[in-house]
Structure 1
């Protein structure tokens, strides 16, 4: 009976992850949302599919706030009954601000906000769950990145896109490399991996996106559930192919 923690579940890819995982009554799901008082009607409907007692939880988690992350962890700790541990941590929450800005027009506040949410959020959440002893011995941590965070892929683009977002995702990539080594010191069978979900038809993806969210998430879960110990620190496309750094 696996346990999943997922951030950014009020819409988009995070919501669809909950929807598909909720199809199995064996799955325990902790769904993090930035604001519990926002419109989360779709999430409430999705998370109740096939639900059992004490297996489905919607909890506020604003990954831009250290206090909110710590409260999220405390609530999970209280609701994890007995020896239950987290088998899968999916850091899905992220933002892309001022996507039209290039490296010559960056606004510092926007870049800092993206780094706070896209890099420091996953860093603090993973570390906090580990400190509380809530991660299973063979936990799989999946950090959602982008092809725009790949130096090799970005160098091929002309014009290049989303400078601030790309910088934050490159930072997340480096974080994940460090996590892959550091978490192994504490949990020798753990796996940390990066995943590019593709250009998905969500609010963040925008009008030009080409991939249906259902198809992306189906691929994401296939990659997640197929992770092996030797995949620690790897960068995957949702197709399962490895992405050049």
Structure 2
């Protein structure tokens, strides 16, 4: 009976994660949203088949106080249960038009705060709360644009601030993959990876996206569920193929 956390669950990829995970009533799903005042109709509908085991909690991953409060609520909600899968999905791509020659300092700072510091602190505070299982799988949702090798193949370059933040998230993943296995942290068998969902038809995906959310999330769940200890610190696509840094 696995337990999952999905951040940014109110729309897009997060919503589809909850929809697919809710198909099994043996799953416990903690779905986080940025604000409790948001319209939760779609999320409640997506989790209806497993509503008794789905808990909607508030976590603004751009706010440290909110993340810390969330970790406390997770512990209170779970009791003796532990998190088997942490999916750090919440992210923004607020200025896709910016290039390396037009980066707005505040825009880059905002994307780093949400896309990098958010997953870093979410994981840290959950570790400190003692709610992650010793063999937990921690998934940082990245992008092909976070790969230096992939980005070099794209002409013209695009989404500079977002790409830079996802490159930093990939580096965070490598750091976590070592540190979370240290004594007194999560466990020597925990696994941390980053996964590229592909270019998906969501609001963030925008015009041109060709991949349906159902296919992307289905592929990622298959990949995540198949992770072994040897996969720690690696970068995958939703198909399970390893991505060059």
Instruction: Give the TM-score normalised by the residue count of structure 2.
Output: 0.97
Residue 126 of structure 2 is aligned to residue 129 of structure 1:
yes
Report the count of equivalent residues: 242
CA distance in 2, matches of 1:160, 1:241: 23
Between the aligned partners of 2:72 and 2:50, the Cα distance in structure 1 is 26
Could you list the runs of 4 or more consecutive aligned residues of structure 1 that deviate by over 6 angstroms after TM superposition? none
Whole-angstrom distance in 1 between the partners of 2:18 and 2:97: 31
Structure 2 matches for 1:205-216, cutoff 5 A? 205-216=205-216
Equivalent residue, structure 1, for 2:136: 139
- Residue 62 (1) aligns with residue 60 (2): yes
* Matching of residues 63-212 of structure 1 within 5 Å: 63-81=61-79, 83-185=80-182, 186=185, 187-212=187-212
C-alpha offsets along residues 48-95 of structure 1, whole Å, 9 cap, x if unaligned? Answer: 21333xx210011100000110111111111112x2100000000000
Is the contact made by 2:44 and 2:51 (CA closer than 8 Å) also made in structure 1? no
CA distance in 2 between counterparts of 1:51 and 1:68 reads 24
Aligned counterpart, 2:33 = 33
1:44 corresponds to:
44
Secondary structure of 1:242 counterpart: coil
Helix, strand or coil: the match of 2:166?
helix
Q: What is the CA–CA distance in structure 1 between the aligned matches of 2:5 and 2:155, rounded to whole Å?
A: 37
Q: CA deviation at 1:233?
A: 0.2
Report the 3-state secondary structure (helix = DSSP H, G, I; strand = E; otherwise coil) of the residue aligned with 1:23: coil
The CA distance in 2 between the partners of 1:195 and 1:96, in whole Å, is 17
Structure 2: state its 5+ residue gaps.
none
Query: Contact 2:88–2:141 at 8 Å: present in 1 too?
Result: yes
SS in 2 for 1:121: helix
